[in-house]
């Protein structure tokens, strides 16, 4: 039987979490464990130490006002989905969180773990990118446009700890995804955000990493209607083909889902 041992440490505050990780080059932060633990079970990662960040009070906070929604890195998906203030101020974000995985994944998985992992089919990256969010870490603020670098790759330094994500509140927004029926990961997911300075559209599940759909942004900034979204043609050239869907099918879905998001935007 396969087994290996590792140390487990529970951090009380961001400073001690970062110090513990910096002291052990082979350590990893542990949040909900919904991505990291399967990776360890598959023997794709064997960290010598896990530093649990889910009991750090600063990482558990949610705050919302008319301009900004702030979600602590260790807030689980279910708490975002059910939070009354987020549902009132930024309902698209609550609805997105409520569509992640299943009940168990939503009860354990966190926003910080999701964006640090940066799975190309994860839902939260689309919200961060479309809303123009800011990732707040233990040492700096990173614009979402600079945060997602590539497949499973972010701008984070190896020991950098995500503390929170700040979302500016848009005029209207919605997220539509075509989920894989088994995992609920996005075959394609499209987040549309209408802001005072124009419309931003981010697509997940279709490429090697989340990306902005500039053709849709231009069309929807001129005319915020489902028909305008559906009139846009997306080239399949850089999109994924896998056993779930071809690049051409994903390219077809992007304007269709964008049109549905425009219809539902609130």
Residues that bind ligand FAD (CB under 6 A): 28-36, 38, 53, 73, 100-101, 105, 108-110, 112-114, 116-117, 119, 122-124, 161-162, 183-185
Both tokens assigned to 137: 């870490």
Residues 6+ apart with CB under 8 A from 185: 101, 119, 121, 122, 179, 205
CA distance 225 to 134: 28
Q: How many CA atoms lie within 13 A of 261 on its CB side?
A: 38
Task: Single out the residue of 131, 111, 125 nearest to residue 209, CA to CA.
Answer: 125
Tell me whether residue 47 or residue 215 sits nearer to ligand FAD (CB atom).
47
State in angstroms the smallest separation of the CB of 113 from ligand FAD.
Answer: 2
Both tokens assigned to 209: 């990493």
Tell me whether residue 109 or residue 132 sits nearer to ligand FAD (CB atom).
109
State in angstroms the smallest separation of the CB of 156 from ligand FAD.
Answer: 6
> Which uninterrupted H or E stretch holds 192?
strand 186-195
Tell me whether residue 73 or residue 229 sits nearer to ligand FAD (CB atom).
73
> Which uninterrupted H or E stretch holds 30?
strand 27-30
State in angstroms the smallest separation of the CB of 93 from ligand FAD.
Answer: 13
Running DSSP on this structure, what letter comes out for residue 152? Answer: T
CA distance 198 to 150: 25
State in angstroms the smallest separation of the CB of 136 from ligand FAD.
Answer: 10
State in angstroms the smallest separation of the CB of 263 from ligand FAD.
Answer: 22
Tell me whether residue 115 or residue 219 sits nearer to ligand FAD (CB atom).
115
Tell me whether residue 30 or residue 93 sits nearer to ligand FAD (CB atom).
30
State in angstroms the smallest separation of the CB of 197 from ligand FAD.
Answer: 27
Q: Do the bridges between strand 162-168 and strand 134-137 make them parallel or antiparallel, or are there none, so unpaired?
A: antiparallel
Tell me whether residue 36 or residue 142 sits nearer to ligand FAD (CB atom).
36
Helix 214-222 with 247-264: angle, nearest 10 deg: 30
């Amino acid at each position: 039987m396969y087994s290996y041992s590792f140390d487990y440490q529970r951090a009380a505050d961001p400073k001690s979490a970062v110090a513990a990780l910096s002291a052990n080059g082979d350590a990893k932060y542990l949040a909900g464990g919904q991505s990291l633990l399967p990776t360890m079970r598959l023997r794709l990662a064997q960290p010598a130490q896990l530093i649990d960040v889910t009991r750090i009070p600063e990482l558990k906070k949610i705050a919302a006002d008319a301009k900004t929604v702030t979600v602590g890195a260790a807030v689980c998906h279910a708490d975002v989905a059910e939070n009354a203030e987020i549902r009132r101020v930024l309902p698209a974000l609550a609805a997105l969180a409520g569509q992640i995985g299943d009940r168990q994944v939503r009860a354990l998985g966190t926003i910080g773990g999701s964006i640090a992992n940066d799975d190309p089919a994860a839902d939260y990256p689309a919200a961060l990118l479309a809303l123009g969010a800011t990732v707040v870490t233990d040492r700096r603020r990173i614009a979402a446009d600079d945060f997602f670098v590539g497949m499973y790759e972010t701008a984070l330094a190896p020991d950098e700890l995500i503390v929170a994500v700040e979302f500016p509140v848009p005029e209207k927004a919605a997220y539509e995804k075509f989920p894989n029926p088994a995992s609920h990961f996005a075959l394609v997911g499209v987040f549309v955000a209408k802001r005072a300075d124009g419309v931003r559209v981010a697509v997940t599940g279709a490429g090697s990493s989340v990306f902005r759909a500039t053709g849709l942004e231009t069309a929807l900034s001129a005319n915020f209607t489902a028909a305008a979204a559906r009139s846009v043609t997306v080239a399949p050239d850089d999109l994924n083909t896998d056993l779930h869907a071809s690049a051409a099918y994903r390219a077809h879905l992007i304007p269709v889902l964008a049109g549905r998001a425009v219809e539902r935007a609130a």
